[in-house]
Structure 1
Amino acid sequence: MFSSSSLFQQLACPDAPRCPRPNCLFSHRADLPLPPPLVVPVELPVGASKPSTLSTVPAKRPAPSPSTSTSGPSVPREPPRKQQKLPNRAVPTVQQPTAGPPILRVNGALSVVPIPVRQAMLKTLYDHFTVLYDAILPMNPTLASEHALRQEEEVYKKSNKQTYRVAIIHCAAALKRRAIPDVSSHPSVGTEDEVTARAEALKSRKTLRLTRARVEHLILSKQALELWGFFLDIPDGIGGDQPSQENKPAKCDRCGKSFIVKRMDEAEECTYHWGRPISSTTGGQKVRVYRCCYKQVPDDDGCAQGPHVFYETKAEDLHARHAFSYLKYPPSPNTVLDVAALDCEMIYTTGGMRVARVSVVDGAGNEVFDELVRMDDGVEVIDYNTRFSGVTADDYAKAALPLSAIRESLDTLINTETVLIGHGLENDLKTLRIIHHVVVDTSIMFKHPAGPPYRKALKDLAQEHLGLTIQSGGGTVGHSSVEDSVATLDLVKWHVINRPKLQPTTTKNVESSGT
């Protein structure tokens, strides 16, 4: 303590004679007067009467407790700082790719290269990808942004502070030298590492020709075929005696309402969702939404319009529209394949969903058959289902052969010993009215995490294992059965080359799970 220099000894102690301080600064002499009280004038409310004497208020006073009530109008006070509810500060996350230039969102303290430099180089890559993808960006508007982000990350991981800029410049020059892609599955689509890895994998697959010996272990047992909905025997009854359901009642496969089956020019329109329900997380809660428009399930408004259509699944109903039959038994012509990949595209008709295009490739991936199918006599088209089938009215006008003639042509290529490869092949065989037991199905071979009866889409498997983008033609172009059959065959080749461990097919939850 500093010395007080006896400056307060001329003032009487305000606490005398009960002063608790052992060395008080004030004087304890009885002849000294007490210090005058501190008088603070109090401002009175407007209209209040002025008291005769001013109130004496201590210089310091304890803050009133929360429970203390005061008279007069309540005045809102700012709560203590600790009790204030401050807005949450969102933690920045990696930005989802958009249709415009991407923004790099990374922790600047952890980045060896300054963030402004990386952002500038990212914009350079985006500009080059935009030029490269000019023909396919209308159908894939976020592709340039996605690939620019991945390409910058690839370069950053391989570079240091000194080599980063040069590596980006070399990468941009490489993008300029690429061939201009016309479809999203073109070899030029992707980052440098992705293009290189895909080229090497493609070379390995191209040199591999699948034979029965190579895929023998992948052939499904009859128990598995029955489990996954394959028809093992020809249904009873006269086949093909009721080819059309025109002017008869049915349940719409799109909106679920009952209707009278009419051909295209007479059909009533319905409003529906063309995308399947999927799980999505919104506001921290898991909800079911439609893949087409992301509206929550259920939603009666729909997002698309089209004619009422129907889809049949019972064996006897399908047999009545067009008869089932087995493939030819050996011996067959020398042109018969030991392994073939098959895919079909279907359209809606007055005879249900019928095959409109059939494509077959051999064990090396060469196209050996691709034909459009004309409907049977008495069967009229309701909807070409172009969004999924890829078949248009102009395409169908070129169809010359009915299904019976298509089957005869297929008999020269495949027989009961041919290993047929497909994705969801039971649907293709049903629409072709073929009973076949020697099957390899990639939708079963590559397990869905949720187990049976769920299956991964061919598009997702091709992207995951082959690095290929398929079925990306948009809402008016649809799928290609040739592209899908080649992708299915390549998935089996990938499996043979990489030999991942197969999981046994199980019947768990098949009855209780949805499709």
Structure 2
Amino acid sequence: MPRVTATSRTHSNNETNDNSEHELQRKRVKLDLDSGVASPRRSLVTGSSPKIRPGEQRKGSPAHMSATIHKRGSSRLSGPNPLSSTETDKQVVTPQAKSLQSMAVSTAPAKSISLTPGTQQKQPKTPKPSSREPETLNPRLLKKAPASHATRVALVKALYKEFQRLNDELKKTAKGAERKWLLSDQELIVKTLDEEQEVATKKTSIYNTSIRNKILTYKKMSLAQWKDERSKIAQSANINSTESASTAAVESIETGLTPSQEFQFLPRLVFDLTLLDTYGYISKMPSEGDIADAEAAVKACGNTETCDRCTRRFQVFPGRREADGALASNGNCTHHPGKLYYLKRAPGDRSKAERRFKCCQRNYDDEAGGCTTAEHHVFKTTDPKRLAAVLNFAHTPVNPEIPKDRAVSFDCEMGYTVYGLELIRLTAVSWPAGDVLLDILVRPVGEVLDLNTRFSGVRPEDMASAERCDVGSNHQPTMIPKQDPTQKPERRLKIAASPKMARDILFTLISAETPLIGHGLENDLNAARIIHPNCIDTVLLWPHDRGLPMRNGLKYLMETKLNRKIQVEATEGSPEGHDSAEDAQAAGDLVRLKIRDEWKTMQMKGWAVDTGGELMAPSEEWTVVGGAQVKKPNNIN
């Protein structure tokens, strides 16, 4: 192999006029005299150089210059590694080659340069991003920006400031399920950018006005309104999520009392229904004259009703219309199955409250028709005289055979018929144990317009295949084992022939003295046509901030008070409905939670449990100071 000399290298340079090598000769490498290690000029430092694409060599880099030398036949360095400090064949290394050797050692990372002719430097593998890249408060790049970048930055920062304020306020008071509503710094930024991007893309022509109105809305928003919004977002996320309902610990209920002592506490939670007549609680049976007047009024109007879902007027035909067998007129019903609710406003805020539908979260003012279509229009009535015209009310009879220490959680499901909203399922659960005492389907009086499966959970095939049960017969569900022994057997409910028979079956399990527990009990009692004197309603135990007739939903209370998910729909479009047994047990748990809180307060006032297990009121001679009992000043000797 020919040796490379300085003369041959100079001659080669003159013949080819290679600019790259000429530049190499001009850009000498400085040596650190103290350490003896080569140090490149600033222009050759890797950190200040442009990025190299995969499979490319940067011009002027040691690897590039090494490849250039390899290509020059007259000045090719011999040996397998021309930059190595050890020459196996005792080749002559010129000063320029030594300079290249020093640059390669000082600037190239280890194992990054391939010295085989015709090969390129191997690039390290780019790690795959494991999650979404962190964002900053910089508006996202849009195809068509609605405003200047400086304007968008200022508005983004203003919106972020309000989100951060509300999140910080929630952080100070968050308890239980509310902790899941808190946002991290990055989540706040993402939420801000999402909100701004939505306005910028959907309302480009009125961007400035829309985004400023949004900022003003959150600036006026109270903590209660922010909680409401975060709760709705969390519920929506849970519906679309395939994960478990909650990863946080479920709130346990330890009242500090035995079951018998909890039962002693119940009379303190009973409400007088005679004071709640204006809110639908019925404490007096309608007379025969009242019922006759109601029937005459219905006949005079030709059975014309207002649809409970879309508010259109239509006619119902009990027994079916003779001409065509129709049950109702005016075609299909397009509606929102979810209820309309108001967003909370800050104290002193007199602006118009925003209304939304729970089913699709669509704004009421923006809606252009419902999101669901049903075959028939439906209606309901709360007039006790009209309810009594279908089936009259009855007082719960005294039954000495019922255990004196029994309390029952009670829940009903209703469906729409030609007579309004009728009972189609009745469930009773023991309290506080939670054992199911009664769970049956009920055949309504009128022809069915809609079983309201989305909420009731009752399907037409359930009603058609159910086995009949009577008073005194076995009303427990039929258990049908499956072929796979590891799966739970199918549970088929039996059916009562009428609402009156279902009520009579319930009367075999409760007495007038039995505490009856439920959520929104007036609806359940009116559906079963029962007047009960001993009622405990969790709607009244945990009232809405705005008072009756506004009320907190059972699902909301269970999530916020006990961090427990109930009434969870499997998938959108195929809802399974509510489980009345689950709802009854949930209402019972809320009562126990109220007992726990009330008992703590009573203990601070001097209440205690005597040796016989009875709740004992504080003595008149003693009071409580700082959590300890002390004698009253006038009783101190």
- Structure 2 regions of 5+ residues with no counterpart? 1-149, 168-180, 188-235, 346-350, 467-494, 603-637
Match of 2:341 in 1: 278
**For each residue in 1:175-232, what CA deviation from the matched residue of structure 2 results, as whole angstroms up to 9, or x when unmatched?**
xxxxxx6xx4xxxx423xx15xx3xx15769974675421111100244333432111
Match of 2:398 in 1: 329
RMSD: 3.8
Structure 2: which amino acid aligns with 1:229?
G
Match of 1:51 in 2: none
Of 505, 513, 520, 1:409 maps to 505
Q: Is the 8 A contact 1:240 1:322 kept in 2?
A: no
Structure 1: which amino acid aligns with 2:356?
V
**For each residue in 1:32-87, what CA deviation from the matched residue of structure 2 results, as whole angstroms up to 9, or x when unmatched?**
xxxxxxxxxxxxxxxxxxxxxxxxxxxxxxxxxxxxxxxxxxxxxxxxxxxx8674
Instruction: After TM superposition, give the deviation of residue 139 of structure 1 in Å.
Output: 7.2
Match of 2:358 in 1: 291
Of 249, 273, 278, 2:304 maps to 249
Flag the structure with higher helix content.
Answer: 2
**For each residue in 1:468-508, what CA deviation from the matched residue of structure 2 results, as whole angstroms up to 9, or x when unmatched?**
10011255211111000000000001111222779xxxxxx
Work out whether 1:320 is the aligned partner of 2:389: yes
- Cα separation, partners in 2 of 1:212 and 1:87, compared to 1, 3 Å: closer
Q: How does 1:54-69 map to 2 (within 5 A)?
A: none
Instruction: After TM superposition, give the deviation of residue 295 of structure 1 in Å.
Output: 2.6
| Other structure's SS at 2:156 match | coil
Q: Is the 8 A contact 2:414 2:425 kept in 1?
A: yes
Match of 2:521 in 1: 425
| 1-structure distance, mates of 2:315, 2:261 | 47
Match of 1:27 in 2: none
Q: How does 1:1-12 map to 2 (within 5 A)?
A: none
Structure 2: which amino acid aligns with 1:275?
G
| Other structure's SS at 2:582 match | helix
- Structure 1 regions of 5+ residues with no counterpart? 1-83, 97-101, 109-136, 145-180, 503-515
| 1-structure distance, mates of 2:279, 2:593 | 23
| 1-structure distance, mates of 2:459, 2:268 | 39
Of 413, 421, 436, 1:367 maps to 436
Q: How does 1:229-248 map to 2 (within 5 A)?
A: 229-237=280-288, 248=303
Work out whether 1:459 is the aligned partner of 2:555: yes
Match of 2:154 in 1: 88
- Cα separation, partners in 2 of 1:221 and 1:204, compared to 1, 3 Å: closer
**For each residue in 1:329-364, what CA deviation from the matched residue of structure 2 results, as whole angstroms up to 9, or x when unmatched?**
24x324576311100000001121001111111122
Work out whether 1:261 is the aligned partner of 2:360: no
Work out whether 1:218 is the aligned partner of 2:264: no
Of 575, 586, 592, 1:487 maps to 586
| 2-structure distance, mates of 1:484, 1:234 | 28
Q: Is the 8 A contact 2:253 2:592 kept in 1?
A: no
Structure 2: which amino acid aligns with 1:252?
C
TM-score by length of 2: 0.47
Match of 1:190 in 2: 247
| Other structure's SS at 2:240 match | coil
| 2-structure distance, mates of 1:427, 1:455 | 13
Q: Is the 8 A contact 1:237 1:316 kept in 2?
A: no
| 1-structure distance, mates of 2:370, 2:527 | 28
| 2-structure distance, mates of 1:266, 1:334 | 43
Q: Is the 8 A contact 2:342 2:354 kept in 1?
A: yes
**For each residue in 1:290-326, what CA deviation from the matched residue of structure 2 results, as whole angstroms up to 9, or x when unmatched?**
2222333254511111120010111110000111111
Q: Is the 8 A contact 1:443 1:455 kept in 2?
A: yes
| 1-structure distance, mates of 2:551, 2:287 | 30
Q: Is the 8 A contact 1:417 1:438 kept in 2?
A: yes
Count the aligned residue pairs: 335
Work out whether 1:106 is the aligned partner of 2:205: no
| Other structure's SS at 1:486 match | helix
Match of 1:228 in 2: 279
TM-score by length of 1: 0.58
Q: Is the 8 A contact 2:395 2:530 kept in 1?
A: yes
| 2-structure distance, mates of 1:360, 1:210 | 22
Structure 1: which amino acid aligns with 2:396?
L
Instruction: After TM superposition, give the deviation of residue 138 of structure 1 in Å.
Output: 11
Q: Is the 8 A contact 1:336 1:413 kept in 2?
A: no
| 1-structure distance, mates of 2:182, 2:430 | 45
Instruction: After TM superposition, give the deviation of residue 278 of structure 1 in Å.
Output: 2.2
